């Protein structure tokens, strides 16, 4: 689920409400509660800036299994297995076809598939690579730039919280598998202080009687796991390799990505200051912040949406700037990565694009 913070900041080229209407159907596809995107930020007692916010981690969904019968029986969808798209044919600002080759790497001649409109959904890296292989050399679109991941840091810092914080939200907490309970800064506070998003999940909380700011009280001790947003930086990018090629003889994608940790430490300082100011707890000293995990496997932002072709690749409807009938789908469209898992928003964006291509009302 995507945070509204980025929409209210104007980082997305359309309003949040245009995407919100697709979240319930996206939740159905993932077998999540339909109201998954509606749970409000709940302020903790004594603080309007520090809030409780749950988020979901969906179980793995095998779409090939879930929709196999539908695809097999459909009279409007053809599925071509064991083939790889190698190029998108372009002619005077129009995408006319896609070239495909058998994925086994044999030397069979490529086949051409023609269409009036073409939508590319090849993932956060391959969307950019396919455009780089296909767009005219003179194209100035920043394809591949502003690539992001989600820094995940486990066992980041100890945390001690007054138990009343949990009592306050007890009636508001939601339960179930795949739910993570996090302490976050409110959207208003984050925007006012130009902060990136970060969720501070309390891992393995243990009841304790601990001195908090000079008072003995019932408390909860735990360790924070951090899932954070990183800034969209032009130098983090996908490019075509000059030296390595795949089995079909094409350049593979070369990824340049450097995690930025300054945003995480800044949010940590604000959270700690707010806990101390409100008397609700405190954070311990962060551990080795270089202990970053793989970012959750969320490849984001390499063909991002926007109104300005100088800093974006597609418009608000996911249509590639300057190409009348070529569209993209997936996390590569995100102009702001956020800190939350992107799958629900990927599906909502795809449903929105499908409605747009079908000419249906919102």
pTM, whole model, 2 decimals?
Answer: 0.90
pLDDT bracket for residue 1 (50, 70, 90): very low
Least confident of 53-57, 127-131, 350-354: 53-57
pLDDT band at 214 (very low <50, low <70, confident <90, very high): low
Strand blocks (E) in the chain: 42-43, 50-56, 83-91, 94-102, 111-114, 118-120, 152-162, 179-185, 198-212, 215-228, 237-245, 251-256, 281-283, 326-328
In tens, the pLDDT along 294-320 reads 567 789 999 999 999 999 999 999 999
Token digits for 55? 């988020």
Residue 280 has a pLDDT of 81
Kindly report the CATH number that applies to the domain delimited by 5-358: 3.50.50.60
Mean pLDDT taken over the chain: 86
What does the alpha-carbon distance between residue 304 and residue 318 come to, in Å, rounded to a whole number?
9
User: Could you report the per-residue pLDDT of 230-262, keeping only the tens digit for each?
Assistant: 888 999 999 999 999 998 889 999 999 987 777
pLDDT in tens, 54-105: 777 777 788 888 899 999 899 988 988 889 999 999 999 999 999 999 887 6
């Amino acid at each position: 689920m995507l945070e509204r913070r980025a929409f209210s900041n104007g980082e997305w080229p359309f309003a949040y409400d245009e995407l919100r209407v697709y979240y319930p159907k996206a939740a159905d596809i993932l077998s999540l509660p339909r109201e998954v995107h509606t749970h409000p930020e709940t302020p903790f007692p004594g603080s309007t800036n520090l809030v409780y916010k749950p988020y979901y981690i969906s179980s793995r969904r095998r779409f090939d299994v879930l929709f196999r019968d539908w695809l097999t029986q459909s009279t409007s969808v053809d599925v071509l297995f064991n083939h790889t798209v190698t190029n998108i044919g372009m002619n005077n600002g129009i995408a006319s076809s896609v070239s495909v080759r058998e994925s086994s790497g044999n030397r069979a001649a490529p086949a051409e598939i023609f269409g009036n409109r073409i939508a590319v959904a090849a993932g956060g890296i391959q969307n950019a690579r396919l455009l780089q292989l296909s767009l005219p050399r003179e194209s100035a679109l920043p394809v591949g730039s502003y690539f992001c991941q989600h820094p995940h840091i486990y066992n980041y810092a100890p945390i001690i919280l007054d138990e009343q914080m949990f009592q306050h939200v007890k009636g508001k907490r939601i339960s179930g598998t795949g739910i993570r309970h996090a302490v976050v800064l409110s959207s208003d506070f984050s925007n006012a202080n130009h902060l990136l998003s970060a969720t501070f999940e309390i891992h393995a909380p243990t009841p304790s009687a601990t001195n908090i700011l000079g008072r003995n009280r019932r408390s909860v001790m735990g360790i924070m796991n951090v899932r954070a947003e990183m800034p969209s930086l032009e130098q983090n990018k996908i490019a075509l390799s000059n030296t390595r090629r795949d089995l079909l003889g094409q350049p593979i994608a070369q990824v340049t990505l450097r995690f930025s940790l300054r945003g995480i430490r800044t949010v940590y300082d604000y959270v700690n200051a707010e806990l101390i100011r409100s008397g609700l707890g405190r954070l311990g000293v962060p551990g080795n912040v270089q202990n970053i995990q793989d970012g959750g496997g969320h490849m984001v932002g390499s063909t991002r949406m926007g109104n300005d072709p100088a800093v974006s690749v597609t418009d608000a409807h996911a249509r590639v700037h300057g190409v009348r009938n070529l569209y993209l789908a997936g996390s590569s469209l995100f102009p702001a990565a956020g800190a939350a898992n992107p799958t629900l928003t990927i599906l909502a964006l795809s449903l929105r694009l499908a409605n747009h291509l079908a000419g249906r009302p919102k």
